[in-house]
Amino acid sequence: MFAHPFRKAVLAALALSPLGAWPAQAVIQGEVSRDPNGLRASVVRIESTQGEICSGTLIAPDLVLTAAHCVMHRAGYSVVVVDRNFRQRRVSAVAASMHPDFVPGTTPEDQPGVDLAMIKLAQPLGADFQPLDPRGAGSIAKGDAVDIAGFGVVAENRRNTARTLRQAHLVSIGSLQVANRVTVVTDRRRFAETVGAGACLGDSGGPILRGGPGGYQIVGVVSWSSGAMQQNTRHRTACGGFTAVTPLGEHTSWINARAAELSQLQAGEAAARAPAARTDWMARPGRRRQ
């Protein structure tokens, strides 16, 4: 099952032709993040009681920015963080809020809304963790060098490789208008001709970053991925080609307003409101978005 509407749109907009489009999964052909002062302090894993995984980014000690499709189902959610010794710690998610334009239940190529959401943690994380500020994200121009990070798999048929933080270097090849507008990034050497670095299962909601260690800036959130143009017809994959990103520079007003509201929300109040507004307050990771 491959996304022909996406292929046509890419051909028209970027003169490219991916073979499939799915929710984003794991960073394939990436490096395991092993720096205790690196992205482990900012990038988190989101897990649901349905067994699904997404990635996300700390933007405040008790707030995580992720993809809306990661929290659109009725489920319980928790956030897993990694300390300086790379020990994992689980924190409850007490509230989640999707962008009001997001339409649950749509496929990647026909999603008309904004694939962004925010999660409120049961308690703030300490000084061992480093939130990234999305307010000065700016635009992602064609040709910009960026990094991707996430807890997804290294291949669709290797689910046991999830839950490890990986990162990779990519490049922006411009904006794409499908049902909504996304920025497309890909492997800097292969340009999606053959399988290269990019998002895969479990990477949805993870960050697209500028800068480097000590100076990372989040500029986008991973939404979905597609396969490379040249693939083995017997072993097609929706990973390693193009990664579609929601650019944050276009949505800072919502991010700022929602972050301010959730920051004022007490954990007890969030839990009390959950049954009355479950879709907007209980999070879930993506289907086959990364």
Domain ranges in the chain are 4-31+133-249, 37-132+251-281
Which DSSP helix (H) or strand (E) runs through 280? helix 278-281
Same fold, 4-31+133-249 and 37-132+251-281: yes
Quickly count: other Cβ atoms within 10 Å of residue 106's Cβ: 16
pLDDT for 62 equals 96
pLDDT for 6 equals 44
pLDDT for 157 equals 53
Cα torsion 130, 135, 139, 140 to 10°: value is 10
Beta bridge partners of 186: 171, 242
Task: Over range 115-133, report the average pLDDT.
Answer: 94
pLDDT band at 263 (very low <50, low <70, confident <90, very high): confident
pLDDT for 96 equals 92
pLDDT for 30 equals 61
Please tell me the distance from the alpha carbon of residue 216 to that of residue 238, in angstroms, as a whole number. 28
Side chain identity at 125, as an amino acid letter?
Answer: L
Please tell me the distance from the alpha carbon of residue 53 to that of residue 46, in angstroms, as a whole number. 6
Closest C-alpha among 132, 118, 119, 59 to residue 91: 119
pLDDT for 229 equals 67
pLDDT for 268 equals 53
pLDDT band at 275 (very low <50, low <70, confident <90, very high): very low
Please tell me the distance from the alpha carbon of residue 242 to that of residue 13, in angstroms, as a whole number. 14
Listed in sequence order, the DSSP H helices in 104-200 are: none
Side chain identity at 123, as an amino acid letter?
Answer: Q
For the domain spanning 4-31+133-249, the CATH number is 2.40.10.10
pLDDT for 217 equals 93
pTM of the model: 0.83
Task: Over range 20-28, report the average pLDDT.
Answer: 46
Percent of the chain with pLDDT over 90: 45
pLDDT for 29 equals 57
- β-bridge pairing 31-32 and 63-66: unpaired
Inform me whether the pLDDT recorded for 16 exceeds 50. Answer: no
Inform me whether the pLDDT recorded for 280 exceeds 70. Answer: no
Q: What is the mean pLDDT of the chain?
A: 79
Give the pLDDT confidence of 46-103 residue by residue, as tens digits: 999 988 899 999 999 999 999 999 998 888 899 999 999 989 999 999 999 999 999 9
pLDDT for 89 equals 94
Choosing among 2.40.10.10, 2.60.40.1930, 1.10.10.10, 3.40.50.1370, the CATH entry for 37-132+251-281 is 2.40.10.10
Which residue is associated with the tokens 């920051």?
A: 263
Quickly count: other Cβ atoms within 10 Å of residue 22's Cβ: 28
The dihedral region occupied by 273, where left means phi > 0, alpha psi between -120 and 50, and beta the remainder, is alpha
197 alpha carbon, distance to own chain's centre? 15
Give the pLDDT confidence of 178-232 residue by residue, as tens digits: 888 899 998 877 666 666 678 888 899 999 999 888 889 999 999 988 776 666 6
Beta bridge partners of 28: 198
